[in-house]
Structure 1
Amino acid sequence: MRGPHNIWRLVRTGATLERTGAMKVILDAYDAPPLLRFAARVAGWPFQWLGHRGDPAMPAATRALTALGPAYIKFGQILSTRPDLVGEDLARHLRVLQDRLPPFSRDIAKATVEHELDKPIESIFSEFSEPIAAASIAQVHKARLVETGEEVAVKVLRPGIEKAFRKDVDAFYLAATIIEFLSPASRRLRPSDVVEHFDGVVRGELDLRLEAASASTFAANTEGDDGFRLPAVRWQESGRRVMTMTWAEGVSLGDNDALDAAGHDRVKLGEEVLTLFLNHALRDGFFHADMHQGNLKVAADGAIIAYDFGIMGHIDEYTRRVYAEILYGFIKRDYMRVALVHFEAGYVPADQDVDEFARALRAVGEPIFGMDATRISMGRLLSYLFDVTERFGMETRTELILLQRTMVVVEGVARSLSPQINIWEVARPVVEDYIRNSLGPRALARDLRKTAEVLSRFGPRLPMLVERSLMQQMTSLDPKRTAPRGRRLLWLGLGAIGGAAVASAAALMLG
C-alpha cells in the first residue's frame, strides 16, 4: 500500500541521505525549490542517528543508496539513465552503483529449488555448485542435469526479496506523490511514471517465469542473426523463483586480454554488438536492455552470447518508425525532417514554431558531427535531444528512456572493444535498411494486410457493433433531432463497413 505507514520508511531514507551527505547532493542536482528542500531536510536532519553510515570510501549518493539496500540500488541504477532528471554529475556517480550483494547459502538455494520444483534436488541435479554470482535480486549456481548430464546455470531468487522490494517501492510511490505536490514543475518529468516504470522492471525480475518467457521470445526473434546466440531455457527445471538455462561457455566481453589471447577480432566484435542492438530495437522492437559486458560472452567460434534477461525493452512499431526517422534525419543532417517527425508524432505541441524547432535541432546535431569518431555518440545525441524538446514543451517519453539508457551502455561496450569505432558509420546501414523496409510500398502492403486480418476477425460482428452504437446514440438524442442524426450515424456506420472492405481488397491486391 502507498499510505501514511510508509512515512517512517521515508524518514529512515532521509536520515541516511543526511548522515552520508547525499541529501544536499541530490537536492542540488535536482535544483529543488525551497519548499521541497525544507520538507526533505525536516524528514532527515533530526533523525540522522537512525540512518545508515555506509562506506565512507564511496561518493555520497552511491554510499547512501548502497547502504539502503537492493531496491535503492536498483532505483539508483534507473536514475543513472536520467540525467535530464538528476543532472549529469549525479547520474555519473550513480552509474558506478554495483548490483552485488553477499551470497546466501547454497543450502537455502537448494531448498528453494526443491520447494519450487516440488522434487528432491538430487533427482534434478547431480551437481550443484556454490554461488558463482550474487546480485541484489538473485544469485546463480552452476549445476549438472541428472537426466542428460548437461551443464546448466540455475538462477535462484533471494529469500524474502519480494516482500522487501514491495515495501520500498511503495515508499517510492509516496515520495513521488509528495515531490509532485511540493514541486509542480516536477510534474513534467512525471516522477510517478518513473517509479511505475521501475516497479514494472522489478516485478519482471521477481518472477523468473517472466524472464524465461522473455529469453524464449528473444531467442525466437534472433534465431536468424549470424554470430549471435542465447542459452536455452530449461522449462521443466524452472518456476517463479528458479530459472534454469543451458550453460554459456565463453570469454567475457569485458576481458580484452582474454579476447586477444583467444584470437578474437575486437574491432569486429564492437561493430557487431552495436549492429545487433540496433537490429533488435528497430527490427523486432524487443531488445536486451542490460547489455553490459557482464551479460555478454564470446564463444570459441566468435559468436556473441547474451544472458540475464531480467530487463528487456519493448517499443511498439509506430514508435520504432518515429525513432528511426529521427536517427535517419540526424544522420542525413536533415533537421527539418527531424522537426516534422516530432510534430507529426505529437511529441512537440502543435502551437510551437517548427522552423525554430528545426534550428534548435541543428544546434544539437552540428556540434556532434564536428566531433572526431571517438566522441560521436547516439546516446549523447538522444540526451541532448531530450533537453531541446523540453524547452519546446515535450513531456518525457517514458518508452524512450530505456532505449536511450541501453544505447549509452551498448556504445560503451563497443568503445571498450574498439576505441576508434565510428558509431554513425556502423548505425547508418541498419537505420537505412529499416527505413526502406518499414516506410516504403512493402510496409504499406503489410500494414493493409494486418488491417484486413483484424477486420476479417471482427467482420461477422461489425453489423452488430454498428447497430448497437446507433441504438445507443439515438436513444440519447432529442426526439426532434433523432431522424437527421440517425441518418448521419447510419451513413457513418456504412462508411466504416465500406472502408473495411476497401482496406481488405487493397491488402489482397498489394499482397
Structure 2
Amino acid sequence: MSLTRSVKIFWVLGRYRLDTLINSAALPWYARLLLAVLPTRWLFKVTENEGRRVRLALEHLGPVFIKFGQILSTRRDLLPDEMAEELAFLQDRVAPFASETARQIIESQLAKPIAELFAEFDMTPLASASIAQVHAARLHTGEEVVVKVIRPGIEKTIAKDIALMKLMARLLNKFPDGRRVRPVEVVEDYEKTIFDELDLLREGANAATLRRNTIAEGKLYVPVVYWEFTRKSVLVLERIYGTPVSDLDALNAAGIDFKVLGERGVEIFFSQVFKDSFFHADMHPGNVFVDVSNPASPTYIGIDCGIVGSLSPEDQSYLAQNLLAFFNRDYYRVAELHVESGWVPPETRINEFEAAIRSVCEPIFEKPISEISFGMLLIRLFQTARRFDMTVQPQLVLLQKTLLNIEGLGRQLYPELDLWKTAKPFLENWVKVQVGPKRFLDSLKAHGPTWLAKAPQMPDLVHDALTQMRAGSVADKSIQLELRRLNEQHALSAKRQRRRGLALVLAVVALASPLAAASLETGQWLVLAVAAVVFLWP
C-alpha cells in the first residue's frame, strides 16, 4: 500500500470536505477532537452540495475511483437520490496510452507480429477509457474489426486503490452514518466487478452468449467475436456502424419509428431477464447504437459486454410475481414473496413489512400507470427491504441498474412509453408457462435421459436408504437411552443440591439467631434436625 497515495486520498477527502458527511456527534471525543483540528476545516469552505463534492473528489482521485463512483451511482437503495444523480455524471475518460505499447501487448498476447495478424492496424485509438483502449483494424480475410487492449499496469493500480478503499470502508463502517451505506459490501462488490472487466476472454464469452440468445429475434445485434485473435488482454470484435441511441436528431432524420424503438428496448430487457436469464448489465447510451437501415423496424446494437447479470429460476419467479403483485397493489403478497425467496430473514413480521411497503409505494400509484417508473419502484422496494435486513442480492442490484438505463432510454426515445403495458403481458405469460403443462414436459424432456440412466440404480439406492434409516433408528434409540440416563443423573444431582442448599439455609438461620434458637422448644429443634438430615441425605 503506497503511503504517498494514501496521503493524497485522505487529503482529497479533506479538500472536498467529505468529513461533513459524518455526524460528528456520534463519534468518540478523540475523533471529534481530531476532526476539529484538521487544517482542511479552515483551509477549505463548503460551497457545494454533498453529491457534487463527492463527485469532484472521485474525479480528482482518478479513473479507478471514477469507475467506482459510476457503479456506486446505481446503488440507489443505499444513496440519497440527489447524490446518485450527481454521481451518474461521472465520465470514464482517460488519455490513451502509447500506441506502440498497445502493439507490443497485442504481439505478446498473440505471439505474432502485428503485420501477420492484421492487414491494416490503425495506430490512433478510436476510444480510450480507464481499463482499455480500442483500435480499428482489418483482417487479412477482409473483415473490419476493432481491437480492445487492456491498459498496461492497470491491474496493479487497481489492486492498490482497492486496498485503500477497503481501509476507508472499514473506517467508515465504525460510524453509524457510515454503516448505513454498507461500505465494505459496496467495495467488495466493486472489486469483483472491476477485476472481471480485466478479463477480455470473459467479455468475449459474454458477447458470444448474448449474440446467440438474441440473433434470431432481430431486435438486438451483438458483434461477432473473433476467438482466434482473442486473449485475456486482447479482444477482437466485428466493427459495427450505427447511430448512437442518444443522437435523437440523426435518428429523427433517418425516419426512425420511435414508438417501436422504445418498446423494443423494454422487450429486449424482459426477454433477456426472463427468457434467457442472461442480460447485458451496462446498457447506458454510450454502449447502445441503432441500425437505421430499416426505419420502420429498427434494430439495437449492443457493445461492451464486460458486465452481465443472470437470475436463478427461483429469482426469476419471485421477481415476476413481485412485479405482478405490485401492480395489483397486493403488498401482503409482495412481503410474503420476499420472505419465501429468502431475501429477508424468515422471522420478518409480514404485517409490519407489508405496512412499510404500502406507505412507500402507495403514493407512487397516485400517478397514471404509464408514468410510473419500474426502476424507481424497485429502488423504493429495496430501500424499504433494507430496513428489514434484506440480504444483498448482487444480481438484483445489476437488474435494477439495467432497468433504470432501459427505462430512461425508452422514455427519452418515446416519452409516452407505457412500460407496464409492454411488460405485463410478457410477465403474465411467463408465469403461466412456468406452472403449466409445457413446463412439465420441457423438464421431462431435459431431465428424462438422466432419470432413465439412473433408473437401474434405484433398487440399490432404496435398499441403502432403508438400511441407513434402520441404522439411524437403532442409533436414535441408543442416543435416547443415553439422554434419559443423563437426564436422570442431572435430576438426582439437582435434587441433592436443593437439599444441601436448604440444609445450609436452616443452619445459618439457627446459628445467626440465638434468640430465636433459645425460644425453640425441643420438638421444634427435632423438626429442624430431621429436615436437615432429609435434605442432606443422598
Instruction: Give me the TM-score of the superposition, normalised by structure 2.
Output: 0.78
The one of 417, 431, 434 equivalent to 1:435 is 431
1:109 corresponding residue in structure 2: 102
Letter of the 2:406 counterpart: V
The CA distance in 1 between the partners of 2:32 and 2:203, in whole Å, is: 39
Letter in 2 for 1:323: L
C-alpha separation between the residues in 1 aligned to 2:112 and 2:40? Answer: 48
Give 1:280 deviation, angstroms: 0.5
Letter in 2 for 1:408: L
Match for 1:124 among 109, 117, 134?
A: 117
SS at match of 2:126: strand
Work out the CA distance in 2 between the residues paired with 1:7 and 1:78: 26
Structure 2 residue aligned with 1:201: 193
Residue in structure 2 matched with residue 508 of structure 1 by the alignment: none
440 and 121 in structure 1: CA distance in 2 versus 1, 3 angstrom threshold: same
Within 5 A, what are the aligned runs for 1:258-407?
Answer: 258-299=250-291, 300-301=293-294, 302-372=298-368, 375-407=371-403
Tell which deviates more after alignment, 194-203 or 280-289: 194-203
**Whole-Å Cα distance in 2 between the matches of residues 40 and 198 of structure 1?**
33
Task: State how many pairs are aligned.
Answer: 470
In structure 1, C-alpha distance between the alignment counterparts of 2:370 and 2:267, rounded to whole Å? 17
**What letter corresponds to residue 211 of structure 2 in structure 1?**
A
Give the direction of change, closer, same or farther, for the CA distance of 1:74–1:454 in structure 2 (3 Å limit).
farther
How far residue 38 of structure 1 moved from its aligned partner, in angstroms, is 3.7
Change (3 A) 1:332 1:479: closer
- Write the letter of the residue equivalent to 1:346: G
1:89 aligns with 2:82: yes
Q: Is the aligned partner of 1:72 residue 2:69?
A: no
Matched, 1:223 2:215: yes
1:259–1:354 CA distance, 2 compared to 1 (3 A): same
Amino acid in structure 1 at the alignment position of 2:133: Q
Q: Give the deviation of 1:224 after TM superposition.
A: 2.2
Quick one: structure 1 residues 474 and 164, their matched pair in 2 at CA, closer, same or farther if it must change by over 3 Å?
A: farther
Aligned to 1:169: 162
371-380 or 429-438, larger mean C-alpha shift: 371-380
Deviations 1:311-361 (A, max 9, x none): 111211111111111111112232232222122213233433323433333
Which SS does the other structure have where 1:83 is aligned?
coil
Matches of 2:83 and 2:480, distance apart in 1: 65
Letter in 1 for 2:102: A
CA contact (8 A) 1:365 1:381 kept: yes
CA distance in 2, matches of 1:466, 1:114: 61
Shift of residue 214, structure 1, vs aligned partner: 0.8
Distance 2:88 2:405 in 1: 10
Corresponding letter in the other structure for 2:169:
A
Q: Quick one: distance in 1 between partners of 2:307 and 2:25?
A: 30
**Offset of 1:141 from its aligned partner?**
1.3
Aligned partners of 1:27 and 1:37 also within 8 Å: no
SS in 1 for 2:274: helix
Q: Distance in 2 between matches of 1:328 and 1:249?
A: 38
Bigger radius of gyration? 2
Shift of 1:215: 0.7
Matched, 1:254 2:250: no
Change in Cα spacing, 1:186 to 1:324, as seen in structure 2 (3 Å) is farther
- In structure 1, what is the Cα distance between the partners aligned to 2:465 and 2:143? 59
Aligned with residue 417 of structure 2, among 416, 421, 431: 421
Call closer, same or farther: CA 1:39–1:74 in 2, change over 3 Å.
Answer: farther
Equivalent residue, structure 1, for 2:48 = none
- Alignment check: 8 A CA contact 1:188 1:396 kept: no
**Matching residue of 2:135:** 141
Q: Which amino acid aligns with 1:141?
A: H
SS in 2 for 1:131: coil
Write the distance in 2 (CA, Å) between the matches of 1:41 and 1:321. Answer: 51
Amino acid of the structure 1 residue aligned with 2:340: E
The yes-or-no answer on 1:481 pairing with 2:478 is yes
2:53 pairs with 1:60: yes
The AA in structure 1 aligned to 2:430 is: Y
Alignment gaps of 5+ in structure 1: 52-57, 486-511
- Structure 1 distance, partners of 2:471, 2:4, is 55
Q: Which amino acid aligns with 2:421?
A: E
Fraction of identical pairs, as percent = 37
Which deviations, in whole Å up to 9, do the C-alpha atoms of 1:386-437 show, x marking residues without a partner?
1222233333333311111111111111111112212211221222222122
Give, in whole Å, the separation in 2 of the partners of 1:447 and 1:63. 53
1:357-390 deviations in Å (ceiling 9; x for gaps): 3333333333222224664101100111112222
User: Residue 84 of structure 1: SS of its match in structure 2?
Assistant: coil
CA deviations 1:421-467 (Å, max 9, x no partner) are 12211221222222122233433454566666666677788858996
Q: Using the alignment, how far apart are the partners of 1:176 and 1:460 within structure 2?
A: 56
The alignment status of 1:191 with 2:183, answered yes or no, reads yes
User: Which residue identity lines up with residue 427 of structure 1 in the other structure?
Assistant: A
**Secondary structure in structure 1 of the residue aligned to 2:304:** coil
Residue 484 to residue 459, structure 1, CA distance change in 2 (3 Å): farther
Q: Deviations over 1:450-505 (max 9, x none)?
A: 66666667778885899699889979x979727999xxxxxxxxxxxxxxxxxxxx
CA drift of 1:42 comes to: 5.6
CA distance in 1, matches of 2:189, 2:278: 16
Q: Partner of 1:244 in structure 2?
A: 236
Taking a change above 3 Å as real, the CA distance of residues 328 and 189 of structure 1, as seen in their structure-2 partners, is same
On the 8 A contact 2:134/2:147 being kept in 1, the answer is yes
Give the corresponding residue for 1:99.
Answer: 92
Q: Which residue of 1 aligns with 2:14?
A: 18
Contact 2:332/2:351 (8 A) holds in 1: yes
C-alpha displacement at 1:8, in angstroms?
6.5
Instruction: Indicate which of 210, 214, 233 corresponds to 2:202.
Output: 210
Over aligned residues, Cα RMSD in angstroms? 3.7
Between 192-201 and 37-46, the greater mean CA deviation after superposition: 37-46
CA change 1:47–1:413 in 2 (3 A) is same
Q: List per-residue Cα deviations over 1:289-329 (Å, max 9, x = no partner).
A: 11011111111232111111011112111111111111111
Query: Does structure 2 conserve the Cα–Cα contact (< 8 Å) formed by 1:315 and 1:399?
Result: yes
Matched position secondary structure for 1:86: coil
The Cα of 1:112 is off from its aligned counterpart by 1.5
Change beyond 3 A, Cα 1:163–1:471: farther
Which amino acid in 1 is paired with 2:270? L
* Secondary structure of residue in 2 paired with 1:337: helix
Q: Which amino acid aligns with 2:435?
A: L
